[in-house]
Amino acid sequence: KSSLFQAFAAACAVDGSAFEAANGTWLQPALRIGVVECPGSFAYGEPLKQMLQVAAASFGLSVQCSIHCAEAMEFPEDCDAFIVSGSRQSANDPDEWVVTLQRNVKEAVLRGKTALGVCFGHQVVAAALGGKVVANTKGWELGVNGFDLSAEGCSFCRGHIPDFPAHPRLRYSHQDVVVDLNSEVSGLR
């Protein structure tokens, strides 16, 4: 978990600024992360907030997390990065909150914010940035699977975590899959 935090925190570094405290030590400003909870799954907000705070502390950093309800059209505006949670919805659903979420994700990324999508969240991020998300021909999939990272994915992850595996095993649950990314977007896989 701390390895994931280390890579995410490194990707979120806005300007590398640090402050010098009165005792001469350097302090990094708290990383501000917004968690967008989507309906139809478990409540990701508090567990993610706690995990991020513990992981940050292990690196001598701090995190300020805010939790936002996607169905209520809430989105983190004052953050360095944001995480979009899972949901049983489809990124292609015409529901107003899904459409609004995709618009907010696109606008935030264009403003230079770092995005991380979990399950449904990664499909929303891909769709918002011009990717193609389709119904999985296998139907719902649930389990743990190994994934091969692309050369760019390995380089990115190992640039932040030297011992990051080239074939990580991850939990997954989805009914949709991302089949194409916008040519300006790089996938880690």
Q: What is the pLDDT of residue 39?
A: 92
Q: Per residue in 74-133, pLDDT tens?
A: 999 999 999 999 998 999 999 999 999 999 999 999 999 989 888 899 899 999 999 999
pLDDT at residue number 174: 81
Mean pLDDT for the stretch of residues 151-160: 79
What is the C-alpha to C-alpha distance for residues 100 and 104, in angstroms, rounded to an integer? 6
The SS3 call for residue 107 is helix
3-state secondary structure of 172: strand
Q: Radius of gyration of the chain from Cα atoms? A: 17
How many DSSP H helices and E strands does the chain contain? Answer: 5, 10
Looking up tokens 């936002």 gives 68
Of these ranges, 76-90, 135-149, 153-167, the one predicted with the greatest mean pLDDT is: 76-90
Lowest mean pLDDT segment, chosen from 10-24, 48-62, 151-165 = 10-24
pLDDT digit string, tens, across residues 3-37: 555 556 555 554 444 444 555 555 567 889 999 99
pLDDT (mean) for 179-188? 77
CA dist., res. 51 & res. 135, Å (int): 31
Instruction: Please tell me the predicted confidence (pLDDT) of residue 13.
Output: 54
- At 14 the pLDDT is 43
Q: Where does residue 122 fall: left (phi above 0), alpha (psi -120 to 50 degrees), or beta otherwise?
A: alpha
